[in-house]
Chains A and B, each alone.
Chain A
Amino acid sequence: MNDLAKATSGFAFFPGMLGMQMRNIQACTSAQAKMLDGMRLLGKQHAQFMEAVMRRMLEGRSASAPSDPGSLIGSGIDQLKAAIMDTQANMSEGSEILARSAGDAAGIMQKRFLDALDEIKAIAEHPADAGRLQS
């Protein structure tokens, strides 16, 4: 209790806490920027996927359909298989983009959290030096 009183006397800790809070906000901003960049990349990826789907549809429409029933069924099955593979590839790309941006953001936040713990420890141990932690 005495130690705490010493640490808080004269608000010596205040500049250090303020600097720490600033760094917390900066970390949140960086993490948010990573997430937003991930969303932008996801949008770009989705646009590329839609473009490819449209291209395939147009190519499919221009190609002449097989005349005999056997070939017609065969070509339908091939198209279905291709659509399944495309969808799976699209989902896998999308989830990878999200996982990467979330991982980046989590990495930034975790690093900041660990740094902040060290800073609190330093402020508690040396309140008079707290101002130096701002830099």
Chain B
Amino acid sequence: MPVRRLRSAAAGTLRALALAALCAASPALGAEPLGRYPADPGQVSVSGISSGAFMANQLHIAHSEGIMGAAMVAGGLYGCTILEVQDDGVVSLIGRATGACMTAPDLLPDVSSLRETVATLADKGWIDAPRNLARSHVYLFTGQADQVVNPATVARASALYKALGVPDSQIKFDNKNLPAPGAGHSWVTDAFGIDCNANATPYINKCHYDVAGVELAAIYGPLTPPAAAPSGRIVAFDQREFVAAGAAAANGMLDTGYLYVPKACEAGAAQPCRLQVVLHGCMQSSEALGDEFYSKIGVNEWADTNRIIVLYPQAHATDVAELRIQNALTLFNANLAGCWNWWGYGNDRQFLTKKGVQVSALWAMVQRVTGQR
């Protein structure tokens, strides 16, 4: 009897150790579910850099009824990669993403054909009616030394917003020639990051220009100056509940995302706060840069003094082996650089509509934070 009890105790200890090891290996197990906060659903905006800018643009146009502003830094042109809209989704090319949309601006689709694509998607009910965009405030930034996404692409994105009915007075296209020779492909900050004209990781450049404050002011109007240092808290949350079957990794998303909550926006706040979704670019997620992007790009400082909750969803570098469908087209569906989905990887033929895996996950996060879900 004592021997059996000893064996049982040993087995229990082993199980506990195995569980502890599993918890240590998987950070998502430690992340809590995304909470509800006192955020005003009418004050939701989105911003992003590079692939995050393309995704910000997609989220904005797909959900124009619920998003009042968008900021695109070094990227963003809705439907740029689409060759054709079909009954069950779109035909999109990664070759067009890396070619026309990034490096061969002569081949960019013209504004009228892009506007037609938007209208077609709206007619199918896959995106909100574009007329909602008329009340949006839009900010676009491109650096003159950007060698990754050609500035002409961002200029075309600005023209498309205008063609979709956003008044000129509500669009700020910022291609300011920062201290010569201009900014490289990056989220531009006042004092953090690498040389201003660099086009290299971490794609956060020190240009003595605080794009965080400029984009937030373009969307929300005049702001209170930023805090010297953020005094709110960063909350890690589990992203898997927002992806069907919890298959975050297979769909280019990490298990854990982050949320910055200013003190003034904690539960029981006297008045509702605003919410901005901030999307990193390729090779900028927490698996690549640690906490650098969600804590050092300058947004949290502005958020602190202006009652803005900041949601930092995280993309994942999806390897071929992680894809659910393995076939001859597998290589086209991987996401090796951890980008947001703006060309249809992961077999997602709806990536730029409300039915897209990532767009719907991001929207569900917004609804959770604003208490609508």
Enumerate chain A interface residues (CB-CB to B < 8 A).
Answer: 41, 44-45, 48-49, 52-53, 55-56, 82, 85-86, 88-90, 92-97, 99-100, 102-104, 106-107
Contacts and interface: CB of A to CB of B under 8 A. Distances in A.
A41 B82 CA distance: 11
A90 B329 contact: no
Contacts of B332: 96, 99-100
Question: Which residue, of B104, B106, B109, has the highest number of chain A Cβ atoms within 10 A?
Answer: B106
B328 A88 contact: no
Contacts of A55: 106, 110
Interface stretch (B94-102, B202-210, B287-295, B308-316): B94-102
Contact of B104 (A85, A94, A97, A100): A85
User: How extensive is the interface on chain B, given as a class?
Assistant: 20 to 34
Question: Which 9 A-B pairs rank lowest in CB-CB distance, beginning with the nearest?
Answer: A89-B99, A103-B328, A92-B95, A93-B95, A89-B104, A96-B95, A85-B104, A103-B329, A56-B106
A82 B104 contact: yes
B14 interface: no
Given A41-B84, A44-B83, A44-B84, A93 B106 contact: no
B93 A90 contact: no
A37 to B, nearest CB: 9
A49 B107 contact: yes
B95 A95 contact: yes
Nearest to A40: B84
Contacts, number: 71
B246 to A, nearest CB: 27
A92 B98 contact: yes
Interface of B: 83-84, 91, 93-96, 98-100, 103-104, 106-110, 327-329, 332
A52 B108 CA distance: 8
A94 B100 CA distance: 13
Given A89-B99, A92-B99, A97-B93, A106 B107 contact: no
A22 to B, nearest CB: 24
Contacts of B108: 52
6 contacts: A48-B107, A92-B98, A93-B93, A96-B94, A103-B327, A107-B328
Given A41-B83, A52-B106, A86-B106, A93 B327 contact: no
Contact of A93 (B96, B109, B328): B96
Contacts of A86: 104, 106-107
Given A92-B99, A93-B93, A104-B329, A45 B83 contact: yes
Nearest to B110: A55
A41 B98 CA distance: 19
A82 B96 contact: no
Nearest to A52: B107
